[in-house]
């Protein structure tokens, strides 16, 4: 009996060790969409924002994720930096960082925008939270000098911090009236669907390389 009991304990211990890694993946991947009105879902009905539609698309593809919407309409990079810590809770695995559009629309110096985004990326790195940096592009009416300085912010910061970059949040949507609200700036429901379709592969790539999914 003692021998059988010992064998049972060894088998139980082996099963516990085998089950250990799986238990680390038992919780959904926690993602936060951190940005401005483009992230918040300005002008859209409940359930139609980018984080909500992206979560639904990822879950439909079998990814166990939860995406919190930490978008604030009108937010600038300065505002985002000031609320970063309390908007992104401990336990967050991935942040979709999308800010700078309002800086650009207000003509804020690209140097200030870059400084704020740089500080946010550094802070998230300190907290061991991975980031998909989502870029914006300057409006043509701001002139070539401003556009050149502003557009360079995102690829440069992505290189410096070693984070993934999605170059342009409104890719395939900007300037397409059929995909925008009447203000000509914010995506409508069809625009969000296009944004999700185009951004999802970049998010899936990061999900696939998460430590708990390796």
Catalytic residue ranges: 37, 183, 186
CA distances from 164 to 22, 29, 104, 110, 133 (A): 26, 17, 22, 21, 6
The DSSP line for 95-106 is: EEEE--HHHHHT
How many other CB atoms are there within 10 angstroms of residue 125's CB atom? 14
What is the length of the chain?
214
Cα angle 168-171-177, degrees, rounded to a multiple of 5: 135
In angstroms, the CA 211 to CA 204 distance is 14
Give the residue from 25, 19, 23 showing the smallest Cα distance to 63.
25
Instruction: List phi, psi (to 5°) of 66.
Output: -130, 125
Rg (CA), the chain: 21
In angstroms, the CA 106 to CA 97 distance is 20
Helix axes 110-126, 77-87, angle to 10 degrees: 10
């Amino acid at each position: 009996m003692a021998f059988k009991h010992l064998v049972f304990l060894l088998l139980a211990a082996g099963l516990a060790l085998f089950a250990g890694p799986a238990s680390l993946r038992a919780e959904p991947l926690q993602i936060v969409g951190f940005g401005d009105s483009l992230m918040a879902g300005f002008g859209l009905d409940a359930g139609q924002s980018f984080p909500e539609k992206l979560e639904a698309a990822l879950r439909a593809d079998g990814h166990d994720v939860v995406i919190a919407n930490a978008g604030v309409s009108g937010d600038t990079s300065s505002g985002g930096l000031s609320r970063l810590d309390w908007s992104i809770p401990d336990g967050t695995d991935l942040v979709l960082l999308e800010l700078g559009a309002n800086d650009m629309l207000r003509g804020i110096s690209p140097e200030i925008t870059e400084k704020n985004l740089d500080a946010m990326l550094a802070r998230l790195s300190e907290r061991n939270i991975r980031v998909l940096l989502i870029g914006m592009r300057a409006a043509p009416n701001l002139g070539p000098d401003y556009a050149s300085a502003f557009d360079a912010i995102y690829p440069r910061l992505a290189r410096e911090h070693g984070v993934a970059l999605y170059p342009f949040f409104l890719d395939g949507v900007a300037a397409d009236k059929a995909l925008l609200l009447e203000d000509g700036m914010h995506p409508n429901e069809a625009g969000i669907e296009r944004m999700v379709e185009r951004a999802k592969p970049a998010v899936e790539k990061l999900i696939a390389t998460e430590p708990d999914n390796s």
